[in-house]
Amino acid sequence: MSFDYDLFVIGGGSGGVRAARVAAQGGAKVALAEEDRYGGTCVIRGCVPKKLMVFASEFPDAIADAAEYGWTVHAGGFDWSAFKTKLHAELDRLENVYRGILKNNGVETYDARAKVIGAHEVELSDGTRKSAKHILLAMGGRPVLPDQEGAELGITSNDIFHLDELPKKILIIGGGYIACEFACILNGLGVDVTQYYRGAQILRGFDGEARGHVSDEMISNGIKLHLGTNIAQMTRGEGGIDVTATNGDTQMFDQVMFATGRAPNTDDMGLEAVGIELGRKGEVLVDDYSQTKVPSIYAIGDVTDRVNLTPVAIREGMAFVETVFNGNPTPVDHELIPTAIFTQPEMGTVGLSEEDAREQEPIEVYSTSFKPMQTAFAGRSGRVLMKLIVSKANRKVLGCHIVAPGAGEMIQLAGIAVKMGATKEDFDRTVAVHPTMSEELVTMKEPQIRQ
């Protein structure tokens, strides 16, 4: 049977574009359909614009520090409109880069929504049908508003980049990394930020000591963080949104942002009708090789709700091409993924938290917290945290957790060592780079005594 394409990719985000490009470079005839903007969540609504906002939000402290270091500085206010104009110009440029990558590698693109209508067939929104030997689902995910009265008055992370003006006062709901990052960003940009999280501590699933450290620093930086708290009622009031909290507190906010969950983009895609299994959240269920129950259809990235990170989606796309087009079955490696949370200060982490490691085996914990030289000199009170989790049995470093400015950069390099199976003695044998914050990772000699 002949097909229109060897591969049809649905979704033009980081994972889908990478898989399409690499398959096409190998000689496959490839098409890709994207209903919105090329680049996906990461480039258009996530990592990239968020990190540019992080950079923007760090200047008030940098300017204050400059004065402490002897510079005469005259800082005006933050011009959101000027920043937003430049931000969107950069996102347009990046989208064109993604389109160019596909075009230059011979991938045929359709600016249309595609849905699956058979094991080897898709239908575009204009009614056109295309056949393919293999179909790759890479539709990603989206933020969702909670199912509660008044939630429609709120916004999500998608909307932040499009606000006509910055709110003077915002309430952020949630305790995950997206909620915490935007709380820090907006706080840095001069917004009065309140954050509610129903749980006992933010950043659930990460190392307890590290999340506590981030929480303390966020509060000391001026974010009004209320734990064990949620919205009881939300109504549109005169000049804002009236919010009553579960603790009885009533306030008015200019904006309420929900960062309480994301959902895979599998609605109305025809997936179950062709035999693809979906999970409880609507995620596409796949095996270790990203294959669905329908042998010709694979899925990668956030639509599978495995590890929802851009570099992971890209790696899943590469492994898919190796498996299907290069005859080299390659399972996806989701072990020991380094990651960063761009709060202020940043958190970088790889491997096991102290809590998870303790459940697994006897461990030693090496941990230190201190005021870094640069900010201490400027009179700021912020502290950083360096932490290693070590197996007592084989001395391997099971986890590394850093809360500090630049933690994302540090954890990328520490992640190589942990992925290679470095021991505590390997760290100890490494000469410190002085004076740096990260030298503490190789100078901690005595384990903590933990009860």
Residue 194 identity (one-letter amino acid): T
Q: Is 434 a catalytic residue?
A: yes
Q: How many CB atoms lie within 10 A of CB 16?
A: 30
Q: 423 near 397, Cβ under 8 Å?
A: yes
CA-CA distance, 44 to 13, in Å (whole number)? 9
Buried b (16+ CB within 10 A) or exposed e, 264-278: bbbeebbbeebebeb
Question: What residue spans of 274-325 are helical by DSSP H?
Answer: 310-324
Q: How far apart are the first and last CA of the chain?
A: 67
Contacts 24+ apart (CB under 8 A), 99-104: 99/38, 101/17, 101/21, 102/12, 102/17, 102/20, 102/21, 102/32, 102/38
Residue with tokens 């399972």: 331
d(CA 334, CA 247): 40
Helix (H) / strand (E) element for 8: namely strand 5-10
Rounded Cα distance between 336 and 250, Å, is: 43
CB 126 within 8 A of CB 112: yes
The set of long-range contacts for 429-438, using a CB threshold of 8 Å and a minimum separation of 24, is 435/373, 437/372, 437/373, 437/384, 437/386, 437/404, 437/405, 437/406, 437/410, 438/386, 438/402, 438/410, 438/414
Who contacts 262 (Cβ-Cβ below 8 Å, separation ≥6)? 141, 142, 143, 144, 302, 308
Catalytic residue among 120, 226, 401, 434: 434
The two structure tokens encoding residue 121: 């067939």
Please give the positions annotated as active site: 434
